[in-house]
Amino acid sequence: MNILSAVNITKTFGDKILFDDISFTVNEKQRIGLIGVNGTGKSTLLKLLAGLETADRGKLVHANHFRVEYLPQNPEFDPNSTVLEQVFHGDTPLMKTLRDYELALAELELDPASEKKQARLFTAQSRMDEQGAWEASTLAKTVLMKLGISEFDKPVGLLSGGQRKRVAMARVLIQPADLLILDEPTNHIDNETAIWLEEFLGKWRGALLLVTHDRYFLERVTNRMLELDRGKIYSYEGNYEAFLEKKAERMESEAASEDKRQNLMRRELAWLRRGAKARTTKQKARVQRAEELRDHKVDGSAEKLDMALAGSRLGKKVMELEDVTKAFPGGKTLLSGFSYIVMPKDRLGIIGPNGSGKSTLLNMLAGRIQPDSGTIETGQTVKLAYYTQENVEMDEKMRVIEYIKEAAELIRTSDGETISASQMLERFMFSPTLQWSPIGKLSGGERRRLYLLRTLMGEPNVLLLDEPTNDLDIQTLTILEDYLDHFPGAVITVSHDRYFLDRTVTHLFAFDGNGRIEPYIGNYSDYLEEKQEQEEAEQARKELVRQASGNSNAGKAAPANSAATSGSANTNRPKKLTFKEQKEWDEIEGTIASLEDKAASLKQQIEAAGSDFDRVRDLYEQEQQTTADLEAAMERWTYLSELVEEIERNKL
C-alpha cells in the first residue's frame, strides 16, 4: 500500500537544479536506499520528505495522520538537557509521560525524604502504568546502551559529536512512525554497532528511507534503491547488488538509444544535403525531423572522478614505533607498550570501539601529539598526507579555486602531466561555476571531496586516513579504493566501513579499549569470522560447564515454576506471580538503579586511575560485567512486566 507520493517535485539551489520534475512513491514496509554523487541533493530530498524543506514546484501526498521520524546528519540539541530528556523529546502523550517520570525520579533521588516528591513520583508511575510506558522506557535505555551511551543523566553538551549523533538515533528509533528517514546513520558508530543496527532495522515495522555510504549495510537492509542522477530519479527493485546490475543495464540502454539517435540524425542530414527531390511538404517534414533530432536533450554520461595524482618515492624506512604508551590525562590507557615497523607497501586497518585510541594513534604518527613514553621514528623520504575526520583547515568564506591554489597552482598527475588547479578541480567533479563558489555553500560531501583533493595533491607516499568514508558518496569511495590499489606507498586507515576495509587493507590492528592492540593478518570479514568462531567455542565451553554442573545436581528436584523463573516463554502462565517472582518484581527496579550507579562509579574510577594499567584493566573488566548484568536485569524486567500485565488482564 502506498503511504507517500512525491509528485512532480522541482527544487533548485542557486543556479543548480537539484530535482527536475521528479516523481516517486513509498510503500508500506519498503526498505529504500537513496544514493547519488555528493551535491546531487540527497540530504535536501530527505529534509523535504520530512517536512523541513519545501519544493519550488510539486507536492507531497500522504494520509492526514502520517508520521515521519527523521535523523539528520548533524542533529541539534539543547546542550543543558540530559540524554534521556533528548531521547524522550516529542509532543506525544507517551513521551510527556516518560519525561515526567524521569524528572520525578531524579528529583526524589536528590531529596528522598520529601513527601511531595514521593507523591509526584507515585503519580508519574501511575501514568506509566496507565499508558503502558514501561516497555518504551526499557526500550529507550536498551537502545542507548547498544549505541554505547550508558550515562543517561549526562548533559548533552558534554557529549562528543559522535555520541550526540547516537543519542539522536536512539530518539528516532524508539518513536512510532510510518516512515523512518535516516541520513548517514552509520557515521560515528563502530562496526559492532552497525551490525546491531542492521538487525534492529530488519525488525522495523514501518517504511524506511536512508542515505549511507556503507555498501554492506545497503546490501543487507534495503529491498529497493532510488538513485538521484543529474536532476532525475531512478528506481530499482532489490538491494545494492541488484541496483548495480540494473543500473548497468540502464546505462547500456541509454547508450544504445543515443547511438540510434545519432545515426538517424546523420541519415537525415545526409538526405537534406543531397537535396533529394520530394514534395515540399515532405521536405519540410524532413527538415523538422532533423531539427528535433538535433535539439533532443541528452543527459550524457555522468561525470567521473579522476584521482590520478602523482606520488613521491619512498625509501625502505617508513615509521618505526617502539614501546609507545599513551593515556588520557588522569584517565584510561589508550596504548601500552605498542611496537610496530611500518613497511613501504603496508595496507593497515585500525578498528575498535569509539574512544579506544584509534585517532590518537594516527595523530601520534602524524606528529601532532607525542607519546607519553616510547619512540616513533619517521624515515627521511616520508612525505605524509593526513586526511582527518574534520575539515579543520577550511575557511568557509574562501572560494573553492582559492583553497586549492593556496596549496599549488600546478599539479602533477600520475602519468607525468602537469595541469592547472582549475583542471584538477574539474577532474574532481567541480564545474567551472562551482569553483568560484564559497566553500560554505558546498554540501557536506562536496567539502569532503574538496578536502580529499587538497590532501592528495601534495604527492604523498604515506597516507593516514581517519574515517575516510564519512560523507563521501559511493562513486567517490569506489574510485578512492582503486586509487589506493595503485598507491605506491604505505596506507594506514581508521575506519568503521566494513566494505572499505575489505577492499583496502591486508593487516588489522584491533583496539580492545583498554590499551591492548590485537594484530590480525587478513581483511575485516576474515577477522569477524574468526572472532565469531572464538565466541561460539567459548559459549560451547560454558555450556559444557553448565551441563556438568546440572548433572551433579540431577538428584535434586527441579523447581515447579522453573520456566517462569528463568524468563523463558511459557504458554500456561500462572494466574499470579510466585512468591519468588513477586519478591524479584518488587526489588528489580532498585537492582537496575543500583547497577546503573555502579557502572557510573566504575567509569569515574577508571578515569581517576590514570596510568595504573593493572588497576584500569581490573576496573574495566568489572565495568563490562556490570554492564552485562544491567542488560540482563533490563531483559528480566521486561519479562516480568509482561507477566504482570497478562495477570492483570486475566483478572478483568
Quick: pLDDT tens for 543-600. Answer: 777 766 655 555 444 444 443 344 444 445 455 777 777 778 888 888 888 888 888 8
Question: What stretches of 379-495 adopt beta strand conformation (E)?
Answer: 384-387, 410-412, 418-420, 462-466, 490-494
CB atoms within 10 A of CB 1: 5
Question: What b-and-e string marks burial along 582-597, b requiring 16 or more CB atoms within 10 Å of the CB?
Answer: eebbeebeeebeebbe
Q: Which amino acid is at 224?
A: R
Pair 138, 174: CB distance under 8 Å: no
Indicate if the pLDDT at residue 619 is higher than 90. no
Pair 325, 337: CB distance under 8 Å: yes
Strand, helix or coil at 413?
strand
**Residue that is written with C-alpha cell 517536512 in the block:** 51
Question: Among 281-290, 369-378, 512-521, 525-534, which stretch is predicted with the lowest mean pLDDT?
Answer: 281-290
Share of the chain above pLDDT 70, in %: 86
Long-range contacts of 584-590 (CB under 8 A, 24+ apart): 584/636, 584/640, 585/640, 585/644, 588/633, 588/636, 588/637, 588/640, 589/637
The predicted pLDDT at position 303 comes to: 60
Strand, helix or coil at 9?
strand
Q: pLDDT tens for residues 245-274?
A: 888 888 777 777 777 767 766 765 665 566
CA 449, 455, 457: angle at the middle one, nearest 5?
Answer: 100
The predicted pLDDT at position 17 comes to: 87
- d(CA 139, CA 253) in angstroms, rounded, equals 48
Average pLDDT over residues 68-88: 86
- d(CA 610, CA 370) in angstroms, rounded, equals 17
Task: Give the pLDDT band (50/70/90) at residue 292.
Answer: low
Which is it for strands 507-511 and 347-351: parallel, antiparallel or unpaired?
Answer: parallel
Average pLDDT over residues 342-362: 90
Share of the chain above pLDDT 90, in %: 27
- d(CA 207, CA 69) in angstroms, rounded, equals 11
CB atoms within 10 A of CB 606: 22
Q: Could you give the C-alpha distances from 208 to 1, 64, 147, 185, 189, in angstroms and in order? A: 14, 19, 19, 12, 19
Average pLDDT over residues 329-350: 88
Average pLDDT over residues 98-127: 85
Indicate if the pLDDT at residue 181 is higher than 90. yes
Average pLDDT over residues 353-367: 89
Q: Cell triple for residue 310?
A: 602523482
Q: Could you give the C-alpha distances from 329 to 326, 334, 374, in angstroms and in order? A: 9, 11, 17
- φ and ψ at 438, to 5 degrees? -65, 145
Instruction: Please say whether the dihedral angle defined by the alpha carbons of residues 71, 90, 83 and 630, taken in this order, is positive or negative.
Output: negative
Indicate if the pLDDT at residue 52 is higher than 80. yes
Task: Give the pLDDT band (50/70/90) at residue 293.
Answer: low
Strand partners, 386: 464
Pair 60, 4: CB distance under 8 Å: yes
Average pLDDT over residues 233-246: 89
Element (H, E) at 376: strand 373-378
Question: Is the model's pTM score more than 0.75?
Answer: no
Collect all residues with Cβ–Cβ distance below 8 Å to 522 and sequence separation of at least 6.
506, 507, 508, 530
The predicted pLDDT at position 567 comes to: 42
Collect all residues with Cβ–Cβ distance below 8 Å to 73 and sequence separation of at least 6.
43, 183, 184, 187, 444, 471
3-state helix, strand, coil in the chain (%, to 5): 50, 20, 35
Strand, helix or coil at 377?
strand
Average pLDDT over residues 73-92: 83
Q: pLDDT tens for residues 295-330?
A: 555 555 556 677 777 777 888 999 999 999 998 876
Pair 462, 362: CB distance under 8 Å: no
Strand, helix or coil at 169?
helix
Q: Cell triple for residue 106?
A: 531524579
Pair 381, 461: CB distance under 8 Å: yes
Question: Among 40-54, 122-136, 479-493, 603-617, which stretch is predicted with the lowest mean pLDDT?
Answer: 603-617
Identify how many contiguous H helices and E strands the chain contains and give both numbers: 21, 20
CA 517, 522, 528: angle at the middle one, nearest 5?
Answer: 70
Q: pLDDT tens for residues 106-115?
A: 888 888 888 8
Average pLDDT over residues 43-59: 93
Task: Give the pLDDT band (50/70/90) at residue 50.
Answer: very high
Indicate if the pLDDT at residue 275 is higher than 90. no
Pair 150, 144: CB distance under 8 Å: yes
Q: Cell triple for residue 329?
A: 590525562
What is the per-residue DSSP string for 118-134?
A: HHHHHHHHHHHHHHT-H
Q: Cell triple for residue 25?
A: 512513491
Task: Give the pLDDT band (50/70/90) at residue 279.
Answer: very low
Indicate if the pLDDT at residue 5 is higher than 90. yes
The predicted pLDDT at position 272 comes to: 58
Strand partners, 349: 493, 508
Average pLDDT over residues 425-442: 88
* Per-chain mean pLDDT for the chain: 82
